[in-house]
A and B are shown apart, each in its own frame.
Chain A
Amino acid sequence: MSSPLKPPEGNWWDQAVNRRESIWLGLGVIWSLVLFGWMSIWTRTGDQNPIGETYRVTEAEFQEKMAAYKDAAEETEQGLVPDDTSVYMAGVRFAWDGAPVVLEADTQYDFHLSSYDVQHGFSLRPEATLSKQINLQILPGYEWVVPMTFDEPGTYHIICNEFCGEGHRSMHDTIIVTEAA
């Protein structure tokens, strides 16, 4: 009897493997390669990748950048309209500095994401379709530049989804996407 409680007898390494187990091992290798291959291909050809330049930045430095960005931007009733395609946003307990912001559809914006205090979660979805949602981790001390192009106009909601203190549940703001000009 081959028992897991006893030392295997004889030359167990050279014992034959059941044919169906061998087939399964082959399928396992193929599937692992598919999993890897598809992910790798998507970084080259896909439209959704959590990839962007990251820079070390102090909280004070990012606040300066934010101030300059806000000076150049236009204040409207709906929110900030950025001067160019750079968008700055920072988590700060318990609000999003730089939001709400008004953007145009079909324009690629570079989102500069950071935090002034603790870790936050940048969770974004359009009001109309909640299943279209992405989530990015925001760290203090790092500026993450993530390009985004919204293809559908509408109101997008940002919810903080990393615990940042007791008021965390109220940390919400919006991105308004208007029709392409």
Chain B
Amino acid sequence: MLGLFDNDYGSDGFRQCSVTGLQIHQSVEKYVKLFALTAIVALLYGGIFALTVAMTRWEVVGLLDAGDFYTHLSLHAWNLLIFWMIFMEIAILYVGGPMVLGRKLPLERVAQLGWLTMVAGALLVNYAIWTTSAPDQAPLLTSYAPLPSDPLFYTGAIVFLLGATISALPFFTALWFEKRENPGQTLPLVTFGAFITAIIAVEAILGGLAAFSYALAWRIELIGSIDAALYRQLYWIVGHGSQQINLVAMIVVWYFLTHVVGGAEIVSEKVSRTAFILYLFFINLGAAHHLLSDPAVSTGWRIFNTSYAFYGATFASLIHAFAIPAGIEAGRRKRGLGGGLFGWLTGAPWKNPIFSSTIFSIILFGFLGGITGVLMGQLQLNMTWHNTLATVGHFHATVVLGTTVAFMGLSYFVIRTMFMRAFISPKLASIQPYFYAGAMSIATLMLMYVGILYGVPRRTSEVVENIPGTDFSLAAAGPLFNVFGIFALLAIAGGVLFLVIAVGSVLFGKKLEPGDNADLTPDGLVYPDGGDVETADVEEEGNPVHTYDMRGTFVLCLIFLGAFVITYVLNWYLLSQLWQIGA
């Protein structure tokens, strides 16, 4: 089809990637491309509603009326937060599993069935949202019972989750075969991380099947009533669980891309793998932070899940926050690529959009998404964040500035090394991550400010210029909303630019030959025999990676911790100014 799935494979169906040195079988590559392309279609479609939703919340424009707004908000949420992410994550599982292991994709038919089922589920959810009519209401992301949603919506969600499960089976099977053939052999870190991602995904999906089946059974009157608190608990297993998949998949992508295009090494296998294990045990419990300002769950339950348990995952994130930049620092120092405190960083390939996307994702996720996630995950601070636009700011920092920006970098990588296409405009591709991440950061910060400083609620079509039926409004937030509106428009332009480059390059980009990707790697190309790089002798003589200096990373991490402490203190100060609340 359009030559999209062609490459020069050997008679055994394998080819060697000149950038990563991996032996890639055509069955794996075909499905990675299929899932990645589907993800990009979802991004394009869901991105349209970013425009309409943002231009409604910016009440100076006030684009949509209330009814349409909630429909568009639902479409924005499901297509971007769920479909764009999860299609891409299946591609990541196939890269992390069979591709990194140099295997065929087992159960190809199952992968095909999984893709079809996911597409069917996604189409059904979209159809149900578009055609929602009274008494049903737009589901938004959460479909909080007992506000009814279209039965087709619950059905579509269930079908999509089943499809994702089916699509994951070839990945698990590949690992099963690998372990059977190589007992006792440790998996590569990227494969290990992908495995953890997949287990967390299964947990999330089980919660999702329970939540949506429960709601569907109630909606079609198999059961007489639905408990709002129980639904919330079940829902958030998938509602936040799916975001944990985004997080862990993103971190796998960080390890993968910083290595391939930045020359990063693993400074400690033990420490990084332990962090993944901590995620496995603790991160899903963090979903409880959605219930911190709820009546039905006990204080002990809330504190246990969001502190004793969740800080296991917070600690894991702090580990990656050091390990990944340290990997870049040590790897580049080892290659003689930049000295001094930050020479390894300033001398990095900043014009390569794969590299810059990855680094922006790491920095912005940490500073804007990670810190705010911990703040709103504190039992008491949550009262000042819950259901305000600050929450929306937080998850745009995590899933847009973090995951989406990382996945954009990954998409660029797939275009160059799997579709084997040159960018239609290398210059625009270089600029895009700066433009998008920059504009989106400011839009995101504005969401946080208007939420915390003015208590502007989320999930409403108007409240700043006008609250119907009263003279009161939150007009004081207007000026910050103007900044938000302008930068949201710029960010959307940056998103459009990504789509133009990505889709344009896949369709019209110059076809690359295996030798044409030398600019992507810090070492030049891999030799066809799979032996390492031009700097092979450096590596033979090189010292163990942990002996290289990591002071640049250490300084960056201390700056991060400083920012964390300052925002923490400020948030608690604001809270302490409130009247007395609670027992």
Determine whether the beta carbon of A147 is less than 8 Å from that of B582: yes
Determine whether the beta carbon of B380 is less than 8 Å from that of A172: no
**Does B4 count as interface, using CB distance less than 8 angstroms?**
no
Determine whether the beta carbon of B311 is less than 8 Å from that of A147: no
**Does A133 count as interface, using CB distance less than 8 angstroms?**
yes
Interface residues of A in 14-52 (CB under 8 A from B): 15-18, 20-21, 23-25, 27-29, 31-33, 35-36, 38-40, 42-43, 46-52
Determine whether the beta carbon of B271 is less than 8 Å from that of A136: no
Nearest CB to that of B577 among chain A residues?
A132
**Does A70 count as interface, using CB distance less than 8 angstroms?**
no
Determine whether the beta carbon of B311 is less than 8 Å from that of A130: no
CB neighbours of B553 from chain A (8 A) = 20
> Contact check: which of B255, B291, B295, B387 meets A4 at CB < 8 Å?
B255
Q: A4 with B189: in contact, given A48-B581, A130-B453, A161-B458 (CB under 8 Å)? A: yes
Determine whether the beta carbon of B544 is less than 8 Å from that of A15: yes
Determine whether the beta carbon of A21 is less than 8 Å from that of B322: yes
Interface residues of A in 126-181 (CB under 8 A from B): 127, 130-144, 146-152, 157, 159-170, 172, 174
CB neighbours of A38 from chain B (8 A) = 378, 572
**Does B269 count as interface, using CB distance less than 8 angstroms?**
yes
> Contact check: which of A12, A33, A163 meets B144 at CB < 8 Å?
A163
Determine whether the beta carbon of B147 is less than 8 Å from that of A164: yes
Determine whether the beta carbon of B318 is less than 8 Å from that of A5: no
CB neighbours of B269 from chain A (8 A) = 2, 8, 12-13, 15
Determine whether the beta carbon of A20 is less than 8 Å from that of B458: no
Nearest CB to that of A159 among chain B residues?
B457
CB neighbours of A159 from chain B (8 A) = 455, 457, 463, 467
Determine whether the beta carbon of A157 is less than 8 Å from that of B144: no
CB neighbours of A8 from chain B (8 A) = 186, 188-189, 266, 269
A6, A7, A50, A160 interface centre (most CB from chain B within 10 Å): A50
**Does B348 count as interface, using CB distance less than 8 angstroms?**
no
CB neighbours of B67 from chain A (8 A) = 166
Q: How many residues of B sit at the interface, in one of the four size bands?
A: 35 or more
**At the interface, is chain A mostly helix, strand, loop or mixed?**
mixed
Determine whether the beta carbon of B455 is less than 8 Å from that of A5: no
CB neighbours of B315 from chain A (8 A) = 28-29, 32
CB neighbours of B453 from chain A (8 A) = 130-131
Determine whether the beta carbon of B581 is less than 8 Å from that of A24: no
CB neighbours of A52 from chain B (8 A) = 295, 582-583
B70, B307, B385 interface centre (most CB from chain A within 10 Å): B307
Determine whether the beta carbon of B583 is less than 8 Å from that of A147: yes
Determine whether the beta carbon of B271 is less than 8 Å from that of A25: yes
Determine whether the beta carbon of B384 is less than 8 Å from that of A3: no
**Does A85 count as interface, using CB distance less than 8 angstroms?**
no
Number of A-B contacts (CB under 8 A): 305
A25, A47, A133, A150 interface centre (most CB from chain B within 10 Å): A133
A157 to B551 Cα, complex, angstroms: 51
Determine whether the beta carbon of B307 is less than 8 Å from that of A3: no
| Interface segment, one of B39-47, B118-126, B470-478, B496-504 | B470-478
Interface residues of B in 240-299 (CB under 8 A from A): 255-256, 259-260, 265-271, 291-296, 299
Determine whether the beta carbon of A43 is less than 8 Å from that of B303: yes
**Does A82 count as interface, using CB distance less than 8 angstroms?**
no
**Does A80 count as interface, using CB distance less than 8 angstroms?**
no
CB neighbours of A28 from chain B (8 A) = 315, 318-319
Determine whether the beta carbon of A142 is less than 8 Å from that of B229: yes
CB neighbours of A169 from chain B (8 A) = 66, 460-463, 467-468
Interface residues of B in 520-577 (CB under 8 A from A): 532, 539, 542, 544-548, 550-551, 553-554, 557, 561, 564, 568, 572, 574-577
A53 to B299 Cα, complex, angstroms: 10
Interface residues of B in 368-398 (CB under 8 A from A): 374, 378-380, 382-388
**Does B227 count as interface, using CB distance less than 8 angstroms?**
yes
Determine whether the beta carbon of B311 is less than 8 Å from that of A166: no
CB neighbours of A118 from chain B (8 A) = 144, 146-147, 228
Nearest CB to that of A155 among chain B residues?
B472
> Contact check: which of B70, B461, B581 meets A49 at CB < 8 Å?
B581
> Contact check: which of B228, B384, B469 meets A135 at CB < 8 Å?
B384
B190, B228, B544 interface centre (most CB from chain A within 10 Å): B228
A113 to B581 Cα, complex, angstroms: 13
* Distance in Å: Cβ of B13 to nearest Cβ of chain A: 20
Nearest CB to that of A139 among chain B residues?
B228
11 pairs of residues in contact across A and B, judged by CB atoms under 8 Å: A3-B265, A5-B20, A24-B554, A31-B318, A33-B311, A48-B575, A50-B582, A118-B228, A133-B388, A139-B295, A172-B469
- Counting from the closest, the 5 A-B pairs by CB-CB distance are A133-B455, A161-B457, A144-B295, A49-B582, A28-B318
Given A49-B582, A132-B578, 4 more A-B residue pairs with CB atoms under 8 Å apart are: A18-B547, A48-B582, A131-B452, A170-B469
